[in-house]
Structure 1
């Protein structure tokens, strides 16, 4: 078998080299995909005739904030890369909090190298019986073609089993978290214990703090995708993996043993091998055979020795096949254990783990974030400066009004980092407004629930006799006091309305040149 494998590798070394290089390239692309996309985008912007900078330079529309629309488009395009490659440092704290609440802070995804190693282990173990199976799947094929088929069958079996075992491990981990939620919920002695089913969940990685005041089991539940009854359910992937493992192990053992029996039968029915051993019967001719009384003990001894040899050979083969089957099952159990120890059950745990990366503290993450942000900012600023030069050239060639000339004259004052900080501030204010609305909604819901469940105090019977030592009744509010209270209330409402209008004004999109022209035209028509 090893000779055939070596011959196959030697014959197809060019193809194998290409496959290995392709796998390495795919691994590199998957690990640094965002950086690869940034490089491709930068190259596309810089292309001489069909580049995006050349196309954006023909757009001379002016926004209300004094920027060209093309400048904002370019800056926002590269600002998105900063958010993808390196999240804001505040997200580092949110990611750690998210993983801590879902009990997955110390976990990691299974790396590409470990996946390849696991596939290689299963591939090597499956290659032995895959070679036997290739004889049945490719009947009448040559030895070379059977070796090639064995490689294909072994690779297919290894990929399928690695996927099944990994999913089974993930499922066991998720079932463990659901069991923890159920156990903690059952032991919660609070009379106002919340119901697990039918809960509206708005907790995400962005607003991880919404359930800070909830019990730990609810924090886990908010980050899991469970069934309607919030139970473990049927372990589908585990059942499929167990059936696949046992089926492949038993089938491989059976096929191996049947193949051995066929080879043994072929040896028995074939031409007898030459026997160079000395016996008493060789001294006699066929005509002068020994009497049966003398030949029978020798025949019995030879037959017993042959049976013992065959029995030892059968036992050795069966033991070997049993050991291989046990080794195969142990490798699959190891795959399930790796799947249980790695990977995430939380809906956004993988993204949170990606944000944290290999950084041990926020300070280290901030340093790395600043380096990444500055590197992308330099690339974006280079393309923005090129765009501004092209806009000036296009404006000089086509002829523009004084407003365009003034904006083009101060192009150097508009740089990428200014756009980045403005967009981050706008996003921050939008998140703050959304969180304030969400908090008010939750507070109103809790107040309404508390009011509906509060016990009503029984009314005391009225008595005509005066009550001694009673608490004095507060005097009625005068007209001046009522006016002051109402004026204060009106001022507070006006201040809140003004704050909301300013927040809405900041959140509005920047007015384009056409929108500004239409608005000014309407205002002029109204004044006239």
Structure 2
């Protein structure tokens, strides 16, 4: 280990720069959307090759009274609002999505915890990686072996952190699938749904489509399973267990064999070293001293030497066992962290990033408005610059009546207005799509019952059965028919024309 400390001290500047670079890369990845927005704004502001200058050359006017280049710029920055801060409606859908998949209280593994976990595994792996470097780099210098041990330890730590995290996620997912099957088995309802062969159309956008389904079906709609909806074999857990046990046993064996080689080398060196004592017992024995005088001392020396070697062997074996146990415990801790922080839902990670750590929708709306306004200020700055350049280009090229009117009302066209218009259109399109899907579903359910009614009317046998009914049976039959008619009326779906007329009245647009 002295060589490791010497290496760290000698290359502390390079190691420090590497650590700072890794931290910088992690932070950039964590706040990648904000970084992209910064560079996008810089790209629009470049003096000669900026995107604003290129867009200002397009003076074509759309039918809605906007320049096409204005819409392009606003669409570009509106996407940043949707990526960085989803609207409050998405907050509600994300919270509902996580609640239905039983993952509402879970959090992703933070950057600091990831770095700490990798560092712990790296430090643990560094000890036996140094020993392995002597075998993976035979004949190399001591300094090169030390450097190689760092790369070997980093490689081992990355692989083990990945395997343990995947194993923890797999255990969590298997627990959800077992919960699905347990709840399904204990569901005694007559119309209990079938787990197999179901088409899954649930997404984060339309999370409400299965509100009326049982809780286990809501979990099933959001988790990928095999064809039989069973937990299956825990492949990641098996691979992680083999890797952990293999590394622990292999490292302990290599450490012990290295110790044995060092001990053998010490013994050979001691036997071949010259004896400088002129009056040693060995020298006297070689000169013919009787065995009666030398044998007790020789036996005492051998016994002391054996006891010393036995204590040394026991101490080394105990140390290696403790290190192997500590290594296994760290990997078990990694599996537990993966179990607690992993997500099994297909869009759970996205939903978790949307709701973040906001305790309520009110706090989220306040944060969303701050983010939206900050991005809107950046976008409005570039939009105003673009409108000024469009006015210059249109004036220099000559303007007609259409361009003149559009230029005169440039101040009325703002980024916020564009964003609100696109959000209203997107919401209307989503509602219309859901209404059409629901309408098709209801029609498919009503068609079989209608066909049964038409075919059963002219049957004389059934007429005879109806005439032979008792008053109680007739009352029960009529009650069932009336309930079916009531259910059909309640399932009436608002058509697109009816929805359009209702929304027109709500917005005060008149008929």
Task: Name the counterpart of 1:315.
Answer: 314
Task: Name the counterpart of 2:108.
Answer: 109
Task: Name the counterpart of 1:24.
Answer: 23
8 Å CA contact 2:34–2:84 kept in 1: the answer is yes
**Deviation for aligned residue 1:301:** 2.6
- The C-alpha deviation readout for 1:378-430, integer Å capped at 9, x for no partner, is 11111111111101100111112111111111111111111111101100100
Task: Name the counterpart of 1:137.
Answer: 136
8 Å CA contact 2:285–2:294 kept in 1: the answer is no
Task: Name the counterpart of 1:519.
Answer: none
Task: Name the counterpart of 1:230.
Answer: 229
Partner-residue secondary structure (3-state), 1:459: helix
1:69-468 matched pairs, under 5 angstroms: 69-272=68-271, 281=281, 286-290=286-290, 292-447=291-446, 459=462, 461=464
- The C-alpha deviation readout for 1:84-129, integer Å capped at 9, x for no partner, is 1110111111111100000000101111111111111111111111
For structure 1, which runs of at least 5 residues remain unmatched after alignment? 472-491, 506-528
- The C-alpha deviation readout for 1:486-527, integer Å capped at 9, x for no partner, is xxxxxx99x957558889x9xxxxxxxxxxxxxxxxxxxxxx
Normalising by structure 2, report the TM-score.
0.87
- The C-alpha deviation readout for 1:280-306, integer Å capped at 9, x for no partner, is 94895754502x334333322322222
Distance verdict in 2 for CA 1:223–1:286, change over 3 Å: closer
Partner-residue secondary structure (3-state), 2:464: coil
Distance verdict in 2 for CA 1:182–1:289, change over 3 Å: same
**Deviation for aligned residue 1:234:** 1.3
CA distance in 1, matches of 2:283, 2:78: 100
Task: Name the counterpart of 2:489.
Answer: none
Normalising by structure 1, report the TM-score.
0.84
Distance verdict in 2 for CA 1:279–1:81, change over 3 Å: same
**Deviation for aligned residue 1:462:** 7.1
CA distance in 2, matches of 1:285, 1:245: 55
Task: Name the counterpart of 1:66.
Answer: 65
Partner-residue secondary structure (3-state), 2:403: helix
For structure 2, which runs of at least 5 residues remain unmatched after alignment? 475-491, 505-511
Distance verdict in 2 for CA 1:208–1:282, change over 3 Å: closer
Distance verdict in 2 for CA 1:355–1:277, change over 3 Å: farther
**Deviation for aligned residue 1:30:** 1.5
Task: Name the counterpart of 2:13.
Answer: 14
CA distance in 2, matches of 1:349, 1:379: 31
Distance verdict in 2 for CA 1:299–1:203, change over 3 Å: same
Equivalences, count: 479
